Chain A
Amino acid sequence: MIAWREPLLDRRRAAPARRSTAWIDGQPTLKDVTDDVMRPLVTWPGAAWWWSFAAAASALAIGVAAVTYEIATGIGTWGLNKTVGWAFDITNFVFWVGIGHAGTLISAILLLLRQQWRTAISRSAEAMTIFAVMCAAMFPLIHMGRPWLAFWVMPYPNSRGPLWVNFRSPLLWDVFAINTYLTISLVFWYVGMIPDFATLRDRATSPLRRAIYSIVSLGWNGSAQTWSRYEMASTLLAGLATPLVISVHTIVSMDFATSVLPGWHTTIFPPYFVAGAVFSGFAMVLTLLIIVRSVMQLEHYITLRHLDAMAKIMLLTGSIVGLAYATEFYSAWYGHNVYERAVFAGRLTGPYAWGFFIMVGCNACAPQLLWWSRIRQSVAALFVLSILVNVGMWFERFIIIVTSLHHSFLPSTWTMYRPSVIEVATLVGSFGLFFTCFLLFVRFLPMIAMWEVKALAARREGAR
């Protein structure tokens, strides 16, 4: 471990601190980039990785046990009741879908905007998107109670009529949105990795690795003609992913907004949800990358300036979310709708007010600290803030869903919701699934897009 860290430090020392435009610390050659990115793949992981993996896999095991029990027994094992029919599961669903959004934002929107800092973090952010969408998709699936009939949500000719699905339902829009999102994200991610697989193939020492990388690199050889076409395809996919990612959380918000429930039935929901999704996603990217850059020793590729840039996006989206909270309250007051007013008064003073204040404190207030560059440059502060935002954004969805449902129009239906142990265990399990997948990813796939970082490194060399 120490042996190879030395030259890296030397390289950094040799390079004068180049502020603003440089997104790589030091001046690694193209070969250095390959070596540094490949290192986690070819060396035996350290204790930090194993401990993290053990923790994540244990959490996953808890989740598997909880879900197995729930499927075998029924969703009566959850704390849901007739009034609050959506609670933990849909909160988790929206939370995880939101996490995914930062990945697409980084890989697609920032690509179209020619933001060079995205190159070092795009691969891991895309991976995060895919794992988060997997976690998200799990919740509606188990909420069905009989997940083995999940294929009924797809429109296929069947022997029941054929009885088709209801295309006017936002829940069905969700099915299509999430599946399209997962598919396109997977395609984008995989296509992005083909050149790196070829690099790994050409440098693999063991025959097994070479065979595997040969298959997955699809015969890539780096020909200029192919590169030209490849760049075109990347731009096109980015252009497609951009409206897609906005549509996905818009549609998720319509699950709520198209209903008549006070607190849900508002036109602000789509932009509010999309901003919240990007906000929570960037918080998760920060959490992951702060850990990974130090565990995998990639600090000179994922630099403090990357963290700073992500913190700025968090500040922006966090402020949008704060504005949306204020707007919701303002419209409830200004709209003179007693039900709407009651729900919002309930959020402030009702039995779930503690959750509301966690949400406002973590999402609207805490990120305001990011106006100070000292905070943005402190890894520890950013880590704490990113965790707070993750917590806050989870509570945001919980508050939106539960406070609107538990006190709606009919006082005789008013009730409280408390999660059961099984629900909490399922949430823990989804984190387990997410982190297990992510840890396997950093171990088996190149977590930094080598070819993109090389282009960046070479451009800097050319500019010198």
Chain B
Amino acid sequence: MTKRDIVVGRFHEEPTLIEAVRAIRACGLRIADVYSPYPVHRLDDALGIERSRLPLVTLAGGACGLVAGLALELYTSVVDWPMNVGGKPDASLLAFVPIAFELTILGAGLATAAGLLLRSRLAPFRAATVIDRAATDDTFAVVVNCRDTALDRRLVEQMMLNYGAATVESRAVLR
């Protein structure tokens, strides 16, 4: 298990956090990540996080569901064993809409959830890299990897304090 050295700055106020993140990045320092108890909307912008491409996964899942649904209905009712039910046509497309629709939603929904979990590497029995236990409670933790900067870590700590961090800390964590 390799370890990495990090500097953690803890913030308690959302506006201070945003200002600090902007300022630290403006100084050319790379922020490894920010941990927060709730989604901070302006943080995406401040950190330069790109818009997720998850909608594409949803679209693909939905398309698969739709095709699978229609294929199942048409194959079973037209190809494999056509059955005359009340004189309705074998390929009663209108009557196939509800199930095709439900399967579209099912495919899209499951794909979205799976996409989120896989892309964010969330899985049962996965140990969380908890930088700070309070980050899921009431604290925002800004993390800078020491190897990302040529600056001395005390300088980074001082910078965070200047920008309003409540406490700072340098330590090594499992990567």
Query: Number of contacting residues on A, CB 8 A?
Result: 69
A202–B133 alpha-carbon span in the complex (Å): 5
A168-B95, A222-B35, A458-B14 known; A232+B131 contact, CB < 8 A: no
Q: Determine if B39 and A172 form an interchain contact, defined as CB atoms under 8 angstroms apart.
A: no
Contact residues, B2-16 vs A (CB, 8 A): 13-15
Q: Determine if A187 and B72 form an interchain contact, defined as CB atoms under 8 angstroms apart.
A: no
A218-B123, A462-B15 known; A164+B112 contact, CB < 8 A: no
A194-B122, A214-B128, A233-B112 known; A29+B49 contact, CB < 8 A: no
Contact residues, B36-54 vs A (CB, 8 A): 36-40, 43-44, 47, 49, 51-52, 54
Q: Determine if B105 and A215 form an interchain contact, defined as CB atoms under 8 angstroms apart.
A: no
A230–B40 alpha-carbon span in the complex (Å): 12
List chain A residues, Cβ under 8 A from B103.
176, 180
List chain A residues, Cβ under 8 A from B166.
none
List chain A residues, Cβ under 8 A from B137.
30-31, 34, 199, 202-203
A183–B61 alpha-carbon span in the complex (Å): 15
A164–B43 alpha-carbon span in the complex (Å): 53
A31-B137, A164-B81, A168-B85 known; A458+B106 contact, CB < 8 A: no
List chain B residues, Cβ under 8 A from A63.
none
A173-B99, A221-B130, A230-B120 known; A187+B38 contact, CB < 8 A: no
A240–B58 alpha-carbon span in the complex (Å): 9
Q: Determine if A222 and B36 form an interchain contact, defined as CB atoms under 8 angstroms apart.
A: yes
List chain A residues, Cβ under 8 A from B83.
164, 166
* B54 contact from A34, A195, A232, Cβ within 8 A: A232
A155–B80 alpha-carbon span in the complex (Å): 12
List chain B residues, Cβ under 8 A from A379.
none
Beta-carbon nearest neighbor of B46 in chain A: A224
6 sample A-B contacts, Cβ–Cβ < 8 Å, listed by A number: A30-B138, A180-B106, A214-B127, A215-B124, A233-B112, A451-B38
Interface set of A (CB-CB < 8 Å, partner B)? 29-31, 34, 155, 161-170, 172-173, 176-177, 180, 183-184, 187-188, 191, 194-195, 198-199, 201-203, 214-233, 236-237, 240-241, 243-244, 247, 251, 254, 450-452, 454-455, 458, 461-462
